[in-house]
Structure 1
Amino acid sequence: MLDRITASLPSLAPAEQRVARLVLADPQAFAQLPVRLLAERAHVSKPTVVRFCRSMGYDGLADFKVKLANNANEGVPFIHRSVDSDDKTGDVLVKVVDNAVAAFLQYRNAAKVADLERAALAVVSSWQQGRRIEFYGAGNSGIVAQDAQHKFFRLGVTSLASSDGHIQVMSATLLGPGDCALIISNSGRTRDLMDAAGIARQRGATTIAITASGSPLAHACDIVLAADHPEGYDRYSPMVSRLMHLLIIDVLATCVALRIGEPLQPVLQQMKDSLHAKRYT
């Protein structure tokens, strides 16, 4: 949870950053103090304290304090270890694997189940209405968008993936009520993706973001599946972020498949049988 707050710091408004630093300085005290004292110590208003908690993906101050207290009592199980230029191969192996595993466990503990549920129901609703879901990403996130399209079209959900800003804008313009646009971004600050999200939402589509809490993209979308981690954006390849985004797509696709239920089983079996002929025996 503390790593999540640290990762979100650059995306927060200045006043919310002061609240975040207060949390990081003494998590246990923050979990116990009343909102009046928290606001005084951070030199912000009481609504700003609550707004910070919601920016981090929690229902409010009370919910944030409960999770923070649990986290403080358990201790922070992991600190992100950056890969350095002089690392030996064995060091790189350990750091990359440990960072990925810890990020997954951290996401499991911090994920907002209600948001995953809302996203799954929105996609299932699109499937029921014969509408479509579109996946937008740029760079590494564009690769994740392609993987998402591959997973969801097998479920019978009409889907499209695009990593080109012009195509995204044109495609978003063709969306309407009942459609979904799922936008993937590590930083949540890519202009093309922000433009596509705004157009899709204006057209009446449900917008879902997989991005950092408190980022501009998170604020611009209807549903946010927060992917927070302490990994820097500019060092080597953003390995952990890409893996986290793929994981969230897997969780969402599994939830959608379970809700579609029985009608999907014969289709998946027929698909499996058709692919069998493509393999050497």
Structure 2
Amino acid sequence: MARRVKPSYIAATSFLFFRGTDMLDRITASLSSLAPAEQRVAKLVLADPRAFARLPVRELAERAHVSKPTVVRFCRSMGYDGLADFKLKLAGSVSEGVPFIHRSVDVDDKTGDVLVKVVDNAVAAFLQYRNAASTVALERAAEAITSTWRAGKRIEFYGAGNSGFVAQDAQHKFFRLGVTSIATSDGHIQVMSATLLGPGDCAVIISNSGRTRDLMDAAEITRKNGATTIAITASGSPLASACNIHLAADHPEGYDRYSPMVSRLLHLLVIDVLATCVALRIGPSLQPILQQMKENLRAKRYA
């Protein structure tokens, strides 16, 4: 009897361990664009990532036949603060103890199975983001938003479909910090709004695929007008290349098969990290405002 293949509602791979493939794949893809000396460092990482994560810079430079500053320069070329930040992320990525799980939910799964798989998929995506995220890109994005806020310029969040709700959440997060911003998911409004942006303004564009035409149009107009564009989207996508700052949000689910779940949670997480970084830059003056807001909201609740 032929074995029945169960349909899946979540595009997935079987259980495996995350071995830093996302980080190493990024290095492999960047090889051709690196300077020859930096390519030698990259090949050293790819040959033995665990050894690279634990060896001192002097020995790394000797093994790659480059200078110590070249090793540091390579790490910065890959979007990290420096060697220490790169090695920390690399060590976390190749750790045998960090499970990377993305498993399919099948039609005959029990409620307990669905619970475990959905939660495991989300947790795995968060761990992968923690290990692969570029702190340099996050700092640039936080500084751009803070500078726009200080200058009294416009901050806007654009998203379409599922990402439109994330844009609304972002606006909610930032307005509580006293950062005046708007969010829109309508393509026509985005184009009109982007047309009004200029130097000093900032647009944060959120997309799962990074290929939505309306968002690409808004990004192009915003950039031509001299405003800063920040993309929260998949690596290698047209939107990532079109914006000034790219906050990578990569995950294994197939966005073309169903309404994304992990991507939405991942985008919300990136927004939370970004909002926290901006709050720290605003400084202690924010605390009394947040406390007053909390006290004013008490009247809206039953005792």
Q: Alpha-carbon deviation of 1:271?
A: 1.6
User: Matches of 2:21 and 2:186 in 1, distance apart?
Assistant: 32
User: Matches of 2:88 and 2:295 in 1, distance apart?
Assistant: 49
* Structure 1 residues 105 and 70: CA distance shift in structure 2, 3 A: closer
> Who is 1:255 aligned against?
277
- Is this contact kept in 1: 2:202–2:227, CA < 8 A? yes
1:9-61 C-alpha deviation (Å, 9 max, x unpaired)? xxx99x99xxxxxxxxxx954869xxxxxxxxxxxxxxxxxxxx97x86799x
- Is this contact kept in 2: 1:131–1:179, CA < 8 A? yes
Q: Alpha-carbon deviation of 1:234?
A: 2.7
Identity of aligned residues (%): 77
User: Matches of 1:159 and 1:260 in 2, distance apart?
Assistant: 15
> Who is 1:82 aligned against?
104
The range that moved more, 84-93 or 107-116, is: 84-93
> Who is 1:187 aligned against?
209
* Structure 1 residues 194 and 171: CA distance shift in structure 2, 3 A: same
- Is this contact kept in 2: 1:28–1:72, CA < 8 A? no
* Structure 1 residues 77 and 170: CA distance shift in structure 2, 3 A: same
User: What SS is found at the alignment partner of 1:277?
Assistant: helix
Q: Alpha-carbon deviation of 1:68?
A: 5.9
User: Matches of 1:212 and 1:80 in 2, distance apart?
Assistant: 17
User: Matches of 1:278 and 1:75 in 2, distance apart?
Assistant: 46
User: Matches of 1:270 and 1:197 in 2, distance apart?
Assistant: 37
> Who is 1:242 aligned against?
264
Q: Alpha-carbon deviation of 1:67?
A: 6.0
> Who is 1:163 aligned against?
185
The one of 60, 78, 94 equivalent to 2:116 is: 94
**Correspondence list, 1:1-281, <5 A:** 4=22, 29=47, 71-72=93-94, 74=96, 77-281=99-303
* Structure 1 residues 163 and 7: CA distance shift in structure 2, 3 A: farther
> Who is 1:38 aligned against?
none
1:77-98 C-alpha deviation (Å, 9 max, x unpaired)? 2131122233221111101000
* Structure 1 residues 70 and 91: CA distance shift in structure 2, 3 A: closer
Please provide the CA RMSD for this pair: 3.3
Q: Alpha-carbon deviation of 1:269?
A: 1.9
> Who is 2:14 aligned against?
none
> Who is 1:50 aligned against?
none
* Structure 1 residues 92 and 57: CA distance shift in structure 2, 3 A: farther
- Is this contact kept in 1: 2:104–2:117, CA < 8 A? yes
Q: Alpha-carbon deviation of 1:117?
A: 0.6
Kindly provide the amino acid, as one letter, of the partner of residue 155 in structure 2.
Answer: I
User: What SS is found at the alignment partner of 2:265?
Assistant: helix
> Who is 2:73 aligned against?
none
User: Matches of 2:91 and 2:300 in 1, distance apart?
Assistant: 54
- Is this contact kept in 1: 2:156–2:181, CA < 8 A? yes
User: What SS is found at the alignment partner of 2:246?
Assistant: strand
User: What SS is found at the alignment partner of 1:158?
Assistant: coil
1:188-235 C-alpha deviation (Å, 9 max, x unpaired)? 000100110111111111100100111110000011110011011133
Higher RCO (CA-CA < 8 Å; seq separation 6+): 1
* Structure 1 residues 67 and 280: CA distance shift in structure 2, 3 A: closer
**Count of aligned positions:** 250
TM-score normalised by the chain length of structure 1: 0.77
TM-score normalised by the chain length of structure 2: 0.72
Kindly provide the amino acid, as one letter, of the partner of residue 256 in structure 2.
Answer: D
The range that moved more, 223-232 or 68-77, is: 68-77
- Is this contact kept in 1: 2:89–2:131, CA < 8 A? no
User: What SS is found at the alignment partner of 1:182?
Assistant: strand
Q: Alpha-carbon deviation of 1:266?
A: 2.1
